[in-house]
A and B are shown apart, each in its own frame.
Chain A
Amino acid sequence: MLKKSMMVLAASLALSTGAFAKDKIDIVFIGKNTGNPYFDSLTKGFVDACQKIACNFEFVAPATAEATSQIPFIEAQVQRGVDVIAISPNSPDALNQVFDAARAKGITILTVNGDITGNEPHRDATILPTDFTKVGADQVEMVGSLIGYEGEIAILSATTEAPDQNFWIQGMNEALKDPKYAKMKLVATVYGDDQPEKSTTEMEALLSNYPNLKGVIAPTTVGVAAAAQVVQSRGVAEQVKVTGLGLPSEMRDFIKDGTVKAFQLWSPYNEGWLAAHFSVDLKNGTVKNEVGATFDVPNLGTITINKGNSINTQASLTTFNAENIDEFNF
């Protein structure tokens, strides 16, 4: 039995080397967790790209977005011998060791939609939807404009460790020091762990604990949808303005009935699309992974690799409201 299996193994190794000869590279994208609609759109970008250019694509994700849950998945992809691992990391540092091991085997590690801030040397490049240093300030301005720059606000985040979330929250705290927002007071930052039930509970608790709450920023698609659902069912949309980062497909009904006036995001689809093109160009040698290098991506134009091997798909956040919501279908 063992012998037979070893032969199967040998045969398949031969097959996969055969695949390399055809210059089709293997890309896998490891999401934060399963059942997160945000990643459906991102994944579709990869899938569509790999139908047009020379790559094979697979999506995998652990059941929970816990710090170490992605490790067995990375190990498995190393074992499968993929060329590129694109990943939305659940931890800024718990994955360092396994990233190093993968890169030692010649696998390119791209962090997508979130970076391992402070541990950048452990990955090859990062693909971020927009300049993340501006997200916090943009979100504060958004909620400020909705509440007339006055009153108590709160933040409903994802998990306590999510690197991108913490980076934005830090940006929001800094933006709030601006005299323009002097009459706005951040009263709480709570964590819904990107689970609809927990986010709903946290939002309910915010409304109970802070009766004077005027606005809530939920910079996560799961959180903002849950928050909107809560203010809608309680009928308090006029008193408490919900905004944040949301998916147009999930937020459309809330925009249409006026529960949410406006929210922001980028196109996750473009991240997948860009990541696939970058991977193929990188492996073909048509682009070097160096700061300042440029490459062309269909529909997105010329993309530049910025400081820290960071690549952005768009310059600033897109704001969605009743006027433009129907133009977006992700």
Chain B
Amino acid sequence: MSTMGTPTLTSPTRLEAAAPRPLWHVILVRPETMTLVLLIAAIVFASQLSPYFLDIGYILRSFTLSAEFAIVALVLTMVIIAGEIDLSPAANMALSACLFAWAQASGFPIPIAVAIGLLAGLATGVLNAFMIIALQLPSIIVTIGTLTLCRGLAQLIAGDKSIRVPDWFIGIDKVLVLGVPMPVVIFVVAALVLGLTLASTIFGRQIYQIGTNEVAARYAGIRTRRIKLVLFLLMGLVAAVAGMMTASRLGSVRYDLGLGGELQMVLMAMLGGTYIFGGRGTILGTFLAAWLLVVVSTGMTVANLLPAIQLTVLGVLLIVAIIATNFIYSRTQR
């Protein structure tokens, strides 16, 4: 844009609140831009760190290790934009996967075992939705509760032992579509579908409105409770699918499957510029952030860096992202 000239920036009129934001500003000064810049920087840095890093096959293979979390993080992004949070999905993954594995190991036909797994995920979603929407309890407390409950139930079902899954069910990450592992394909498709839904449907706009001001949204005629119900149910269902994908990748299931995954999911949403208090964020941001996390951790692992260094770098990255996101939002949406 031609309005990019510096005089506009330095002139005193810039200080007046009414000045409209130039188009380049709207397009470029966004949290996703920061995520993209960090992603490119990470790729450049990682390929300097180790000569073994820059191999697209390896990066895709590494992404499959986090793909299940990344898929759930996409839905989580929508939940956070709607002003809520869900910390139960990783535990829900374990519960669904354990129930599925237990069901097929005790002789149920596979379609029924899959249905049982999916229903378990959905049930957790229903439980969350009931307590958050009907009982009006804070979602952070509710979902910490269901997180613990799901882990407990998973351990009751599976005990301390692993449950094998049938041989033909193993290896979703080895299925390639045009050279791309299946979990990555699912992630990209899910990101496209959810991204379009959020950005260009009425349902999507309503999610933003709920997160910005729930009371105002309700007075504007938006069925806030119904939309939140849909989001929590979707969360439960997607977590169950992710749990079974993990089972297929590992070949066995244990109660501690995906342990601590909820933090990674929240990390992906935050790194992608989703605002923790709701109303702001995009699927594109979370999509980029998932790749950023994989590139950063893979780059350091293949360079044989100590886990302590890796944790430090990830911590710094998150803090930088949060400061930048808040700064950008406070600058652009006063």
Residues of A within 8 A of B (CB): 1-2, 5-6, 8-9, 11-13, 34, 58, 60-63, 66-68, 71-73, 75-76, 79-81, 91-94, 96-97, 160-161
Residue of B nearest to A60 (CB): B304
Given contacts A5-B54, A62-B307, is CB(A97)–CB(B251) below 8 Å? Answer: yes
Which of the residues B51, B251, B304, B308 comes within 8 Å of A34, measured between beta carbons?
B308
Which of the residues A6, A60, A75 comes within 8 Å of B62, measured between beta carbons?
A75
A72 vs B249: C-alpha distance when bound (angstroms): 13
Residue of A nearest to B249 (CB): A97
For B297, list chain A residues within 8 Å (CB).
72
Surface stretch bound by A, among B25-33, B120-128, B252-260: B252-260
A-B contact count (CB 8 A): 88
A97–B254 touching, CB < 8 Å: no
Count of chain B residues with a beta carbon within 8 Å of a chain A beta carbon? 36
For B257, list chain A residues within 8 Å (CB).
68
Q: Does B328 contact A (CB under 8 A)?
A: no
A80–B302 touching, CB < 8 Å: yes
In the assembled complex, the CB of B236 is this many whole angstroms from the nearest CB of chain A, namely: 23
Binary CB contact string for chain B from 273 to 298 against chain A (1 if under 8 A, 0 otherwise): 00000000000000000000000011
- A-B contacts, 24 of them at CB < 8 A, read A2-B54, A5-B44, A6-B54, A9-B54, A12-B52, A13-B51, A34-B308, A60-B301, A63-B310, A66-B259, A68-B250, A68-B257, A72-B297, A72-B301, A75-B58, A76-B298, A76-B304, A79-B58, A80-B50, A80-B52, A80-B304, A97-B171, A161-B162, A161-B254
Q: Does B225 contact A (CB under 8 A)?
A: no
A5 vs B48: C-alpha distance when bound (angstroms): 8
In the assembled complex, the CB of A107 is this many whole angstroms from the nearest CB of chain B, namely: 14
A67–B256 touching, CB < 8 Å: yes
For A160, list chain B residues within 8 Å (CB).
160
For A12, list chain B residues within 8 Å (CB).
51-52
A72–B65 touching, CB < 8 Å: yes
Given contacts A9-B51, A79-B55, A79-B58, is CB(A97)–CB(B170) below 8 Å? Answer: yes
Binary CB contact string for chain B from 111 to 143 against chain A (1 if under 8 A, 0 otherwise): 000000000000000000000000000000000
Binary CB contact string for chain B from 161 to 185 against chain A (1 if under 8 A, 0 otherwise): 0101000001100000000000000
A80 vs B308: C-alpha distance when bound (angstroms): 21
